Amino acid sequence: MGLTQDTSSITAAAEAHMSSYSAVLTSNDFKTSAERGAKMATYYLPTISFFMDGTIMELAGQSNYASLISGTLDKLEGLPGVKGHRVEAISENSAIIWLFLEVNGLETSNVYFFRRMEDTTEGFEGGIFDGETWVLKQLAKQ
């Protein structure tokens, strides 16, 4: 019989993290995508691994995250609408978050891996960001 873990704390932390991230994503307070990207980059841990378009990538540094985020937002030419999210705790220190988005009438989702580190730092440690790639390909066909 395995140990039972209390996942209520990580679930609450992941919920709060994604709600705040979504608010930044959709806020009208940012003048440029670079400003928005810089703020969104603060939600990630120092090094992340992510999957995009069938490729596993590792990235480090908030300035690199900001460039990736703002570049995608520039290509979308507008802000996505957040349709909701779902959090599933995996252990007392990790969770998976699904973010459901709508961009120009197209609905998609991204998956984020959320982690609480030993030093209590919390943030996204990576994810599957094929949602943006798929939307960009669909918009290019229109």
**Which whole number is the average pLDDT over 18-33?**
94
pLDDT at position 136:
76
pLDDT at residue number 74: 86
- The CATH code for residues 8-141 is 3.10.450.50
- Sequential DSSP letters for 6-43: --HHHHHHHHHHHHHHHHHHH-S--SSHHHHHHHHHTT
58 touches 98 (CB < 8 A): no
Q: What is the pLDDT of residue 1?
A: 53
Average confidence (pLDDT) over 91-120: 92
Low-confidence winner among 1-5, 45-49, 110-114 (lowest mean pLDDT): 1-5
Judged against a pLDDT cut of 80, whether residue 111 lies above it is answered with: yes
Residue 18, pLDDT score: 97
